Structure 1
Amino acid sequence: MRSVPKTLHAYLELVRYPLFAIPIVATLPGTVLGTHEYGWSWRAPVALLTALLGYFAGMIKNDYFHRAQDDIANPRRPIPSGRVRPADAMKLASGLYITCIALGFAMHWKAGLLVLVLIALSHAYNAFLKMRGVWGSLSLPLGIALLSVFGAVCVSGRVPHLVWFAFGATFLYDFGTHVTSTFKDIDRDAALGVTTTPLQLGRRAALTASTVATLAAFVVASVPLLLGQNPYYAVWIGVAFAATVVTRVPLLRCQTERNGYVALEGAMIAAILLFPALMGAVMSFQMSAAVILSLLVTTLYLLRTSKQEV
């Protein structure tokens, strides 16, 4: 019989806990902008919790549906290593999804419906779109980007116009990230017969699409500056852009798995800076810095101490 700490650690690995900040920063623009326009309510923190639980459920479903490939490529992961049974993983993911649905409808009927859409997207991605090349690279970012809309709908039932800029920037940036992230496993995916965007379109074409989408993301995120919004949020856009360039250039020059990992690490850092940047349009720079930097530092600490492949 396994000890409770070891079992708990196995489940934490299963949900890829070092990445907890991603659904939070993707949801924050919607909750903050919606709260600013319609007033504070208990729904704001619950929206963030719901996004986090749904993200964890998606990670579990990913490992459940791709356990056959992990038996070969990632035998140390919780399911192939036998630390978590597939049936138990499915039960946990289903329980988390049910919880998300209940919380969504408790906040607003529109939020509940959007939870159903997000669950459908997550299931479609994990069950088959992930192995369908560009369709996988489009569906996952769409789900992540919709979290900003979800956050706004939760607190107000409406979507402030600035949220759509956050949606567009998040979708474009995450699309670019998804494409580049597949380079870290490109040889392994080819050997296993997994179709990723670079293998489907060709490495150069995939990198071109990724680069164009990434640059477009920063343009979209910057448009509110032209509309007279608080200029201080541009700091996060600038730092995210620098982190992206520094870590993406090696991959553009030489498409190796090592450079793919570097690009992915840079993209995660940049995402934590870029995704919530627009909340800085309605809150003080000090407050946005406290939120963003605390999430960034915690993520970096967990990534370094867990040594978990993400």
Structure 2
Amino acid sequence: MARPALSAVAELLKPITWFPPMWAFACGVIASGVAMQGHWLIAILGIVLAGPLVCASSQAVNDWFDRHVDAINEPQRPIPSGRMPGRWGLYVAILWTLLSLVWAAFLGRWAFIAAVVGLLLAWAYSAPPLRLKQNGWWGNAACGLCYEGLAWTTGAAVMAGGAMPGNRSLLLALLYSIGAHGIMTLNDFKAVEGDRRMGVRSLPVQLGVQRAGRVACWFMALPQLVVVLLLVQWQRPGHAVAIALLLVLQLILMDRFLESVTQRALWYSGFGVPVFVSGMMISAFALRSGGSAA
């Protein structure tokens, strides 16, 4: 059997998708309050685990089990285009999953458990019989929890030597996971035709494009509003104001996005999502300055 080119393997692993979990892990590292001195190596190893390993595994799994949908929506992808011949897509997914587990084992028990949970969610999202992505509510929730909440919590725990993060850190991780549900919906607008034909009930398929766009915006905006209120309560007014300003900017961008949802979903991902994740890092620094376990 012909082997795929390295360029096809790299495209299968979708490096552009690695940023959110890597960023969330870094937020957890910051929120832990642990000094970076003497911990740089474990932080870097954890960031690699979150992005180029676990997230890349999830992308390979998704492309293999979505190959029939991609043949309609994105026929240029490595598997439907034939650049990833035979069952090589599945082999890469399995290999990267195993590599992720081996890597996580060197980071301690918490990182290994988190990697197992994240990889189970990745396979459950794409693979039968669960195939959570068949329903946009469940599938997007699984992605949000894995990409944001689990990565944040793991970063904080690894830095603290395996100790459970404080309640405030866990709460912020959960809120940004909920917000990520909306971000995941943005990825579904480009695939409505194929999803509908193949029975994938994404939110744009279930609710219609315009209504799904509004739901995505609510999912992204409301958790950030709660974060602002929490930071005020935790006596971090400067950080609260900064996130509030970022939220206002997002609302302006959302208004433009909703004028033409399908055409501007990618545009909003490029401009609105970086603003969203900037607020994540600000909230992490708020915990660091005040003590995340407080």
Q: Is TM (by shorter chain) over 0.5?
A: yes
> Which residue matches 2:9?
11
For 2:212 and 2:172, locate their aligned partners in 1 and report how far apart those are by CA, in whole Å: 24
Indicate the residue corresponding to 1:50 in structure 2: 49
Q: Which runs of 4+ in 1 moved over 3 A?
A: 37-40, 201-209, 232-235
Aligned-pair CA distance for 1:63: 0.7
* Aligned-residue offset at 1:185: 2.8
Residue pair 1:175, 1:213 contacting (<8 A) in 2 also = yes
Aligned to 1:279: 284
For 1:46-85, list aligned pairs within 5 A.
46-52=45-51, 53-85=53-85
Give me the whole-angstrom Cα distance separating, in 2, the residues matched to 1:2 and 1:132: 35
Deviates more, 1:269-278 or 1:120-129: 269-278
Deviation at 1:239, TM superposition (A): 5.9
**Does the aligned pair in 2 maintain the 1:137–1:197 contact within 8 Å?**
no
Q: Structure 2: which amino acid aligns with 1:185?
A: A
Q: What's 1:136 paired with?
A: 139
Let me know the Cα RMSD of the aligned residues: 2.9
Give distance in 2, aligned partners of 1:9 and 1:233: 43
- 2:29 equivalent in structure 1: 31
Paired amino acid for 2:31: L
Instruction: Assess, with a 3 A threshold, how the Cα gap between structure 1 residues 2 and 212 changes in structure 2: closer, same or farther.
Output: same
Match of 2:292 in 1: none
Conserved in 2, the CA contact under 8 Å of 1:35 and 1:44?
A: no
Contact 1:101 1:116 in 2 (8 A): yes
Partner of 1:114: 114
Q: Deviations for 1:177-201, whole angstroms, at most 9, x for unmatched residues?
A: 2224322332443244321123224
- With over 3 angstroms needed to count, the CA separation of the structure-2 counterparts of 1:35 and 1:97, relative to structure 1, is farther
Distance 1:60 1:37, change over 3 A: same
The 2-side partners of 1:63 and 1:278 are apart by 33
Is the 8 Å Cα contact of residues 179 and 219 (structure 2) preserved in structure 1? Answer: yes
The 8 Å contact of residues 27 and 48 in structure 1, kept in 2 or not, is answered as yes
Q: For residues 172-226 of structure 1, what are the alpha-carbon distances to aligned partners after superposition, in whole Å with 9 as ceiling and x for unaligned?
A: 2111122243223324432443211232244565344333322222123322343
Contact 1:107 1:155 in 2 (8 A): no
**Structure 1 unaligned spans of 5+:** 285-310
Q: Which amino acid aligns with 2:43?
A: A
Q: Which amino acid aligns with 2:269?
A: L
Q: CA 1:109 to 1:184, structure 2 compared with 1: closer, same or farther past 3 Å?
A: same
CA deviation string 1:276-299 (max 9, x = no partner): 332322669xxxxxxxxxxxxxxx
Give the stretch that moved more between structures: 148-157 or 244-253. Answer: 244-253
Aligned length: 280
The residue that corresponds to 1:287 in the other structure is none
* Compared CA separation, residues 154 and 94, structure 1 to 2 (3 A): farther
Gaps of 5+ in 2: 290-294
- Distance (Å, rounded) in 2 between the aligned partners of 1:86 and 1:188: 22
Q: Percent identity?
A: 21
TM-score (norm 2): 0.82
For residue 65 of structure 2, what is the amino acid of its counterpart?
F
Alignment-mate amino acid for residue 266 of structure 1: F
Query: In 2, Cα distance between the equivalents of 1:203 and 1:190?
Result: 12
